[in-house]
Structure 1
Amino acid sequence: MKEQHDGGPRGCRRSAAGNMKLEAGQVLRSLTVEDNNRTKPEHDEEEDDDCFSISFLRNDRLDPGVAVSPRYSLLREVGRGSYGVVYEAIARKTGARMAVKRLQCDAPENVELALAEFWALTSLENRHQNVVQLEECVLQRNGLAQKMSHGNKRSKQYLRLVETSLKGERILGYPEEPCYLWFIMEFCEGGDLNQYILSRRPDPHTNRSFMRQLTSAVAFLHKNNIVHRDLKPDNILISQKSGSPVLKVADFGLSKVCAGLNCRNSEERPAAAADSKGSNQNNIVNINKFWLSSACGSDFYMAPEVWEGHYTAKADIFALGIIIWAMIERITFIDAESKRELLGTYIRQGTEIVPVGEALLENPKMVLHIPQKARSSMSEGVKKLLQDMLAVNPQDRPDAFQLEVRMDQVTCAA
């Protein structure tokens, strides 16, 4: 299974990586090292920021002579990708379980992925129950750390990260003094959508609930001018804190915040107004006016136009259609790299399986057989909605607002 990208970091996050594997029981510790209100010399770059000390020590090696206030205890590693590691942690002050993601900013492409996630999550002014919540983000370098805030032009550390991403060359951080971004987020104890669905018997009620939740999350993101660009079951987490499963869309490393973009931007330009016909939501109209050009994502969920590198937010609708179709009929494939069984719909061509988007790109007149399985209990309303979501022409797909309304109708009627 391959992932498409155009000379950048896009979409390549499956292989195990990371040179610093922390052991369970380590502690994320913060120390106030100075009075941040005092006057600082202009030449002292590292002291210009609101910093606090950060270190990673085993519990049984803490120096009893040092007065510290641990903030998070890292319990265990729960996930690893090509540019980051995720840990389960406990907030020492409240006892709440948290997810702590460590991203090493050792190369421009990794910085770009980290900043994309940071910008997407911090651009959301309101919370949504189906989007993973970021509590805080910390930038660590050379033993010093600083809480990150969006667009903080006073932070030289932050500006250096942005410069690294824009120039495509290393600006800060060396092997002897690595730079990391730490994301502290809500913890989802139910695993991802693959694990949840495939470890349980088929349940139409759960399917309908998940369909509404996923649609609501994507509508929320699009209304906030965020295109996710990597919707897949791996990036949909399950929280069970309320007693019933609640989906959380996560992993915004490939996302694009479209607010404030203009025609002169090298990656975006306005699409035809007809792309959002019928929507009375201004934000939905706006986000569907921007064409994106970085062909990114995971191939089994990529829309035909993404394979060409010329697409809008409607690509998220296509990916969502693939996920829902696979979830309802429990269609799976074996990932060639991880050997895991994953939810995903595909087209058979002889002995090979081909992503639906790629197959539609090669043969736009191909008719998708929905449902795929003869014994499927899929209703006519859901079948028609999936066909519209997976239309080869993005202008024939509903936008996120229209989809939310139609999804409520077909799941209530089922």
Structure 2
Amino acid sequence: MKDIIDPAEEATDSLAIENAIFETALQIPDPTQRREFLERTFQGDPGGREGMEDLLKLAGTSSAFFLEGRMRTAELAQEVIDEFPDVGFPLGEEAVSSGEKEGATIGRYTLLRKIGEGGGGEIFEAAQDGMVRTVALKIIRSGMDTESVVSRFEIERQTLEIMEHPNIARVLDAGKTTSGRPYFVMELVRGARITTFCEAEQLDIPARLELFLKVCQAIQHAHQKGIVHRDIKPSNILVENLDGTYVPKVIDFGIAKAMQGQLHGRAGMTQLGQFIGTPAYMSPEQIDMGGMDIDTRADIYSLGALLYELLAGRPPFDTEKLLESGLTEMRRALIEDNPPLPSETSRLAAEEGKGNTLPGTREKWANTLRGDPDWIVFKAMEKERNRRYQTANSLAMDIRRYLQNEPVIARKPSRGYFMLKFFQRNRAACVLGVAMLLSLVAGLGTTTALYFREKDALAEQARLKRQAQARANVSRAVFLVSEGKTAEADRLLRANPVESIDVSPEAAEVFRSLGSWNATFGRWRQAADCFRLMNEATRLGNRAKMLETVDLLMTGPTYLEAGDQKAYENLRAEMLDRYVPAQNGLQGERLLKACLLLPVDARTIELLESSAEVCRHSPSGAGSVGMTEWKALSLALFHYRKGEFQEAIRQADKCIAIRDKAGSRESAARCVLAMARFKRGETKEARGELEKAKAEMQRVEAQIDEAGFPPIGTWFAWAVVRILAREAEAMIGP
């Protein structure tokens, strides 16, 4: 649809609607019924109603009033009557007619009674001379035999003649009356519209779908003949009960479009800016009136709308509300808006007690429709026609798949969906298989779950074997390390990764030992894997005790030494979430050090402020686990990250003033001191402090023996020194 609607075009559309209302009102002879119709039509618009009443008064004195353009207004008026058959509009002798009366003879046929009328013609039940059968005879009405209507009537006749299908009403004869008006004869369908029939027979969902499949086959036949129906709706599909067999018949190809060439006579009856069809069932490309070529996929949309009403009990759009909203809003709604799911509409119909289905049926239907039926209907009704089913056969095949409990193409595939469909198709076999499986499990006393296929069961068995072997290998590796047989333990672990082990509290000690051993030898990737599994296991334990161990002090530096900054940031986020605020000085000191190895944002500093206060004011002394020098290092790091460089220098100097036999604490403090002095513009002093830290680090590394252990201190303390030294060197320069 165009983004900007031409005002002239919109005015023309409004005039067409007004003409349709006028024509409809003109056919109601009873003044009371005519007034009720106008009040309902012009609800909220008294000025429009008064204007229409004036036009109707003028029409009584001028027989030529609105004669020009009468064909289109009569068609629109008839669409209103077709859509609302129960409003009680009388169609007596004063209505526009073909001029033929009951009992008249046309060719070989005697008219028995009038049974209906379409946009340009009337339909009679007629008896054929010489044959004991009745037929349906359609003839153009008097006053409607203009060139365009006659041409459209001829197209409908030719359309039906070329189609031979048990679910399409057959053409038996054709000709012209003595006055020259065309007519044709087709088989008489004594049935109700498909939606009325389904409700009257109280058909369930599978029965309705089987009936709908026959309609799809009929439309597919028309498409193969090169014909698009373009007005598929319940009133154009009648259903007969023939000896217990439900036979739908597609009728009224009066607005059908020839896809291949031109039928004899005048083709291309559609005019730009005209609706061809019934709004609630029309595809967006029919509504858009932009000159877009209409193909068979327009019928696929209408079939989807018909299926929607068959299943949900209501059409996807309310025709009366669409007509009341005006042509522009109607266009927008049909092109842009999606109706609710059929399952949701069925649920609402159940709550309102609509339809003739048995009590409680609609509630069950809402649950049944939720899933494949919803998907099928909405694929058929896709706004973009390239995303719909491309043929009526493909729509029918998907419905058949649903009825046979097979996966449908309208739904996104998944393993669970395919397994569900497999179970639905083989319900008895699956139930028997499960019963046998349970009997086997009970008889053998096993706890192993069996899968539907042998391959999955074997894969699970192989996984359990690998896991058991991995546990044994880890236990063996720990023993070898304790015996000093590091080379043999290394070969064992490389052949059997520790990731195969299930996480449990009992395994935490194993992961802790292996992680520390790998870190000692600089195998940071393997150490990081071990500490990750260790932390997963210790999460199950006491939270406060976790913070008072060295686990976090080992894990954080290891991630950074392994080059996995993302893993460290995730660990830091977890520590802030689980352990803040610290409860004592030891927790505060370790939390600050573990969280501040890399620069942080202001929010993190704010979260750690309370822990820094606990660390600063907690008692310390000889033998205390939170000794002054270590707290000074953590506070120096905290104030540096906060941007308080003078306080960071003071705390670092306080840390360095206390003798450090291992050298790692003092070296870490010198790195912080170097960065703080550099930030204050003391470049020379900063470089001197960094050189001292690097020299101490090189001295210790030179003394590491073949076993991989540093002579004094711990490996993770020196890892902290290396991390801070790299940051300081990147800032100050080598």
Q: Give the TM interval when normalised to the shorter protein.
A: 0.5 to 0.7
Alpha-carbon contact 1:88-1:99 (below 8 Å) kept: yes
Is residue 328 of structure 1 aligned with residue 306 of structure 2? no
> Would the aligned equivalents of 1:346 and 1:353 in 2 still touch at CA under 8 Å?
no
Q: CA deviation at 1:238?
A: 2.0
1:316 aligns with 2:299: yes
In structure 2, give the amino acid aligned to 1:408: R
How far residue 392 of structure 1 moved from its aligned partner, in angstroms, is 0.9
Unaligned 5+ runs, structure 2: 1-13, 21-68, 82-90, 348-362, 407-734
- Counterpart in 2 of 1:413? 405
Is 1:72 aligned to 2:109, yes or no? yes
Structure 1: how far apart are the matches of 2:319 and 2:168? 33
- Is residue 128–residue 217 contact of structure 1 (8 Å, CA) maintained in 2? yes
The answer as to whether partners of 1:304 and 1:358 remain within 8 angstroms in 2 is no
Count of matched residue pairs: 293
> What is the distance in 1 between the residues matched to 2:374 and 2:203?
18
Post-superposition offset of 1:203: 2.9
Conserved in 1, the CA contact under 8 Å of 2:341 and 2:374?
no
Distance 1:183 1:24 in 2: 17
Q: Which residue of 1 aligns with 2:335?
A: 361
Match among 285, 300, 304 for residue 284 of structure 2: 304
Measure the CA separation in 2 of the matches of 1:319 and 1:398. Answer: 12
User: What code does the residue aligned with 2:104 have?
Assistant: Q
Distance 1:190 1:357, change over 3 A: farther
Question: Match of 1:185, as an amino acid?
Answer: M
Q: How much has 1:205 moved relative to structure 2?
A: 4.1
Q: In structure 2, how many angstroms separate the alpha carbons of the residues matched to 1:83 and 1:329?
A: 32
Counterpart check, 1:26 vs 2:104:
yes
Instruction: Tell me which residue corresponds to 2:507.
Output: none
Which amino acid counterpart does residue 96 of structure 2 have in structure 1?
A: G
Give the residue type in structure 2 aligned to 1:97.
T
Deviation at 1:103, TM superposition (A): 1.7
Q: Which amino acid aligns with 2:346?
A: K
Q: Which residue of 2 aligns with 1:402?
A: 394
Q: Distance in 1 between matches of 2:188 and 2:397?
A: 30
Say if 1:76 and 1:411 are closer, same or farther in 2 by CA, change over 3 A: farther
- Aligned partners of 2:240, 2:306: CA distance in 1, in Å? 18
Deviation string for 1:60-109 (max 9, x for gaps)? xxxxxxxxxxx333221111244211111222322122111112462123
Deviation per CA, 1:176-209: give whole Å up to 9, x if none.
Answer: xx43222111111113224423434343343122
Q: What is the CA–CA distance in structure 2 between the aligned matches of 1:260 and 1:82, rounded to whole Å? A: 24
In structure 2, relative to structure 1, the CA distance for the partners of 1:393 and 1:353 (3 Å cut) is farther
Aligned partners of 2:237, 2:319: CA distance in 1, in Å? 26
User: Any idea what SS the aligned residue of 1:359 has?
Assistant: helix
Give the 3 Å change call, closer, same or farther, for CA 227–81 of structure 1 in structure 2: closer
Distance 1:101 1:353, change over 3 A: same
Pick the aligned partner of 1:387 from 378, 381, 406.
378
Shift, 1:378, TM fit: 2.0
CA–CA distance in structure 2, aligned partners of residues 135 and 216 of structure 1? 21
Counterpart of 1:97?
Answer: 134
SS of 1:306 mapped into structure 2: helix
Q: Given that residues 311 and 342 in structure 2 are in contact (C-alpha distance below 8 angstroms), is that contact kept between their aligned partners in structure 1?
A: no
Q: Partners in 1 of 2:97 and 2:318 — Cα distance? A: 38
Give the AA of the match of 1:19: S
1:190-231 Cα distance to aligned partner (Å, 9 max, x none): 132244234343433431222101111111111111000111
Aligned to 1:174: none
- The CA distance in 2 between the partners of 1:351 and 1:188, in whole Å, is 31
3-state DSSP of counterpart to 1:219: helix
> Following TM superposition, by how much is the alpha carbon of 1:313 offset from its aligned partner in structure 2, in angstroms?
2.0
- TM-score normalised by structure 2 residue count: 0.36
Contact 2:237 2:249 in 1 (8 A): yes
Q: Percent identity?
A: 22
Q: Match of 2:149?
A: 110
Q: What do you get for the CA RMSD once the two structures are aligned?
A: 3.6
TM-aligned CA deviation for residue 294 of structure 1: 5.9
Who wins on radius of gyration, i.e. which is larger?
Answer: 2
d(CA) in 1 for partners of 2:303 and 2:189?
A: 20
Q: How many angstroms does 1:397 deviate by? A: 0.3
Provide the rounded CA distance (Å) in 2 between the counterparts of 1:350 and 1:249. 27
Is 1:255 aligned to residue 252 of structure 2?
no
C-alpha displacement of 1:117: 0.4
Contact 1:368–1:387 (CA under 8 A) maintained in structure 2: no
Q: Which residue does the alignment assign to 1:52?
A: none
- 1:208 match: secondary structure: helix
Following the alignment from structure 1 to structure 2, what is the Cα–Cα distance between the partners of residues 313 and 250? 17
1:237 matched to 2:220? The reply is no
Q: Superposition pairs for residues 5-404 of structure 1, below 5 Å?
A: 9=72, 12=76, 13-14=78-79, 17-20=95-98, 22-28=100-106, 30=107, 71-104=108-141, 106-124=145-163, 127-140=164-177, 143=178, 178-260=179-261, 295-309=275-289, 310=292, 311-331=294-314, 344-346=315-317, 358-363=332-337, 366=338, 368-371=340-343, 372-374=345-347, 375=363, 376=366, 377-378=368-369, 380-400=371-391, 401-404=393-396
User: Contact 2:113–2:126 at 8 Å: present in 1 too?
Assistant: yes
Whichever residue aligns with residue 251 of structure 1, its letter is D
Alignment deviations for residues 30-58 of structure 1 (CA, whole Å, 9 cap, x no partner): 4xxxxxxxxxxxxxxxxxxxxxxxxxxxx
**Residues 339-398 of structure 1: per-residue CA shift (max 9 Å, x gap):** xxxxx22169999988998525234xx574232223223263222111100111000001
Counterpart code for 1:112: S
CA distance in 2, matches of 1:351, 1:296: 15
Q: Distance between the aligned counterparts of 1:267 and 1:92, measured in 2?
A: 36
Distance in 2 (alpha carbons) for counterparts of 1:413 and 1:222: 28
SS in 1 for 2:261: coil
Alpha-carbon deviation of 1:245? 2.0
1:329 aligned partner, one-letter code: A
Q: Is the 8 A contact 1:228 1:316 kept in 2?
A: yes
State the match for 1:63 in structure 2.
none
Distance across 2 between alignment mates of 1:216 and 1:91? 30
| Partner AA of 2:103 in structure 1 | G
Distance 1:250 1:92 in 2: 24
| Aligned-partner SS, 1:245 | strand
Structure with more relative contact order (C-alpha pairs < 8 Å, separation 6 or more): 1
C-alpha distance 348-106 of structure 1, shift in aligned 2 (>3 A)? closer
- Contact 2:167/2:215 (<8 A) preserved: yes
SS in 2 for 1:413: coil
What do residues 11-43 of structure 1 show as CA deviations (whole Å, max 9, x unaligned)?
533356533454433333x4xxxxxxxxxxxxx
Question: Are the counterparts in 1 of residues 189 and 240 from structure 2 also a CA contact under 8 Å?
Answer: yes
